[in-house]
């Protein structure tokens, strides 16, 4: 399955992991260590594997990228990300399905595609310049917890 210049859109999942820290709800984000969005803060997540349910994929990706075991709950949204190259060819095309997740355990550490992992408060989010869809779903997750 080619992620770059795919023949068809890929299904991806995202984990909106929210927990209470220092008296307020915070969301866990990763700094992407690979394209697309290299170096940017984003939700832990990745591509659905054949035979895997959406919730299984969210649990796997969250663990691979953050070291945490999570319990996926409510689906918060479905988003589409199409990234084109300079010649307007589709370089990446993902249909992203994001779930609100509760951390159950594990040791927080950046892994797999993540260069860094950190908890953020609502007040810290504007400075991160998240993509529209990530910002939208993060705020939905914070509102529902």
Q: Which of 25, 2, 102, 112 is nearest to 65 (CA)?
A: 112
- The whole-model pTM stands at 0.94
Residues 32-48 have pLDDT tens digits of 988 888 899 999 999 99
In the chain, what are the domain boundaries?
10-143
Sign of CA dihedral 60, 27, 82, 76: positive
**Distance (Å) of CA 138 to CA 1, 23, 38, 51:** 28, 18, 19, 28
Q: Can you name the CATH fold of 10-143?
A: Nucleoside Triphosphate Pyrophosphohydrolase (3.90.79)
Helix, strand, coil tally for the chain in percent (to 5):
20, 45, 30
Tens place of pLDDT per residue across the chain (145 aa) = 789 999 999 999 999 999 998 889 999 999 998 888 889 999 999 999 999 999 999 999 999 999 999 999 999 999 999 999 999 999 999 999 999 999 999 999 999 788 999 999 999 999 999 999 999 999 999 999 8
Q: Quote the pLDDT of residue 58.
A: 98
pLDDT tens digits along 6-30 = 999 999 999 999 999 888 999 999 9
Report the SS3 class of residue 15. strand
């Amino acid at each position: 399955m080619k992620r770059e210049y795919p023949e068809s859109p890929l299904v991806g999942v995202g984990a909106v992991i929210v927990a209470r820290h220092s008296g307020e709800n915070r969301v866990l984000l990763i700094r992407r260590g690979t394209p697309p969005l290299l170096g940017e803060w984003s939700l832990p997540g990745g591509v659905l594997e054949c035979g895997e349910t959406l919730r299984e994929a969210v649990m796997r990706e969250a663990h691979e990228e953050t070291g945490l075991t999570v319990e996926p709950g409510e689906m918060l949204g479905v988003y589409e990300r199409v990234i084109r190259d300079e010649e307007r060819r589709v370089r990446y095309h993902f249909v992203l399905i994001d779930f609100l997740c509760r951390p159950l355990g594990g040791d927080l550490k950046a892994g797999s595609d993540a260069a860094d992992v950190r908890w953020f408060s609502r007040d810290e989010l504007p400075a991160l310049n998240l993509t529209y869809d990530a910002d939208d779903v993060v705020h939905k997750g914070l509102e529902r917890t």
